[in-house]
Structure 1
Amino acid sequence: MRLTVTGLLNGCLLLALGGCAGAAMEGANMAKDEVVYENNIEAARAGQVEAQYRVGEALCCSLGDRKGFYDTRAATDWLCRAAAQGHAPASRKLGRIYSGEVVDGVRVMRRVAERVSGRPQDRALSYAWLSVAAGQGDAEAGAEAQTLWGDLDEAERARAGGLTAGGRSLPCRWDEAFPG
């Protein structure tokens, strides 16, 4: 295959347009998340479990320290409130957050940024939260926990077993999972 100037320019144009489309899609996703937040925050503050979950989902998740609308610490606060009331999707989301896999859906730019920035993870805690979600009736969380278990090393398995045994409360909020 012969590289031509026209072919090179067309390739650059496609990459540039793809970047613009990605930015536009991320902007639309952020606008949607802001609307979800505004539509649910009062009910969440009043203790409504589904609203707490929706607010946590909308705020999830910042890449590194809080920048702009997304805020991992606030997201985990709301998700913890919902999980404490037995809300399986909130428990599953906590498991995903602590695994380091927080970006859902078609969010290409955020996925790339997440990979580049690196994200703290605690796979044993992730397993524990996915197990909680499975116990609350989320079959997909159970499958995710099983897959994750196969990826844990011996020390992580021992810690995960300790976290899931004995009815202790799990670290939930971001600052509990990653103090300091």
Structure 2
Amino acid sequence: MEACMRSRLIIVCASVFLVSACGGARTVPATHGKPVSEAPAKGNAAMQQLRAQAEKGNVEAQFALAQAYDRGREVPIDKVEAVRWYMRAAEQGDAFSQYLLGNNAWNGTGMPKSEQAAVQWWQRAASQGFAPAQSSLGRTLVTGGQGVSPDKMQAYLWLALSAGQGDQEADQQRATLVEQLQPDQLAQAKRLVKEWKPARSRAVLSRSAP
């Protein structure tokens, strides 16, 4: 996951010229009485450019702006604002943003705590083949949660798909789950894995267009 995050951030920084935001820690500029969500862009050309691109609907810029607020890069940490921009990117089909929104919903960070909403966001990211979301979704479906019914065959599906992308922890959990399934259930779960195909998001389509 961390490797994926680093790779994504390198691409984002290159695409929006946000070199300064990806460097070392810097002093956060004073807000001068302005709301935290408005203060960062002032006096910072890179952040102004990033916000402008995000407002126009650029998915990479939206994700980068969300990360800036989430991690305090060149701006004060603002989890609510981070969620707002993750949401903008997620609604365009960005799997990474969908996954992080799921984490935020699960933990109640920057948005109301809701295990049901977390599962819904993970589902959207997992359906695109995003391994961390597949793992989170699979682990949750083993036992279920508040507003989430357990579904061990679906849990097997998502854990197996994540394991197929190199997630060793998901593979261990899949192996443990095998012992909890009846032979016919296991056969059906394996068939689901074999027949599964990733969905293509609007964001992926727009980035892959010539």
Distance 1:125 1:119 in 2: 12
Q: 1:77 matched to which residue of 2? A: 120
Specify whether residues 136 and 46 from structure 1 end up closer, same or farther in structure 2 by C-alpha distance, changes over 3 A only. Answer: same
Q: 2:139 matched to which residue of 1? A: 96
Q: Which amino acid aligns with 1:141?
A: A
Q: CA deviation at 1:142?
A: 1.0
Q: Of 121, 125, 133, which aligns to 2:154?
A: 125
Q: 1:87 matched to which residue of 2? A: 130
Specify whether residues 92 and 35 from structure 1 end up closer, same or farther in structure 2 by C-alpha distance, changes over 3 A only. Answer: farther
Distance 1:149 1:83 in 2: 21
Contact 1:87–1:136 (8 Å) recurs in 2: no
Specify whether residues 35 and 98 from structure 1 end up closer, same or farther in structure 2 by C-alpha distance, changes over 3 A only. Answer: farther
Distance 1:160 1:60 in 2: 26
Q: Of 93, 96, 106, which aligns to 1:60?
A: 106
Q: CA deviation at 1:132?
A: 0.8
Distance 2:131 2:161 in 1: 8
Number of residue pairs matched by the alignment: 120
Specify whether residues 140 and 80 from structure 1 end up closer, same or farther in structure 2 by C-alpha distance, changes over 3 A only. Answer: same
Q: Which amino acid aligns with 1:51?
A: S
Q: 1:166 matched to which residue of 2? A: 195
The DSSP-based 3-state class of the residue aligned with 1:151 is coil
Q: 1:174 matched to which residue of 2? A: none
Q: Which amino acid aligns with 2:178?
A: W
Contact 2:152–2:181 (8 Å) recurs in 1: yes
Distance 2:127 2:120 in 1: 11
Q: Which amino acid aligns with 2:86?
A: N
Specify whether residues 45 and 33 from structure 1 end up closer, same or farther in structure 2 by C-alpha distance, changes over 3 A only. Answer: same
Q: Which amino acid aligns with 1:42?
A: R
Q: Which amino acid aligns with 1:50?
A: F
Specify whether residues 143 and 35 from structure 1 end up closer, same or farther in structure 2 by C-alpha distance, changes over 3 A only. Answer: farther
The DSSP-based 3-state class of the residue aligned with 1:60 is helix
Gaps of at least 5 residues in structure 1 are 1-31, 63-67, 103-113, 171-180
Specify whether residues 162 and 54 from structure 1 end up closer, same or farther in structure 2 by C-alpha distance, changes over 3 A only. Answer: same
1:42 aligns with 2:88: yes
Distance 2:90 2:141 in 1: 22
Deviations 1:7-62 (A, max 9, x none): xxxxxxxxxxxxxxxxxxxxxxxxx9867634522222233322111101222389
Distance 1:49 1:120 in 2: 23
Specify whether residues 46 and 142 from structure 1 end up closer, same or farther in structure 2 by C-alpha distance, changes over 3 A only. Answer: same
Contact 1:36–1:58 (8 Å) recurs in 2: no
Q: CA deviation at 1:76?
A: 3.0
Q: Of 131, 145, 148, which aligns to 2:177?
A: 148
What is the root-mean-square deviation in Å for CA atoms of aligned residues? Answer: 3.3
**Percent of residue pairs identical:** 32
Specify whether residues 169 and 61 from structure 1 end up closer, same or farther in structure 2 by C-alpha distance, changes over 3 A only. Answer: farther
Specify whether residues 124 and 61 from structure 1 end up closer, same or farther in structure 2 by C-alpha distance, changes over 3 A only. Answer: farther
Contact 2:116–2:148 (8 Å) recurs in 1: no
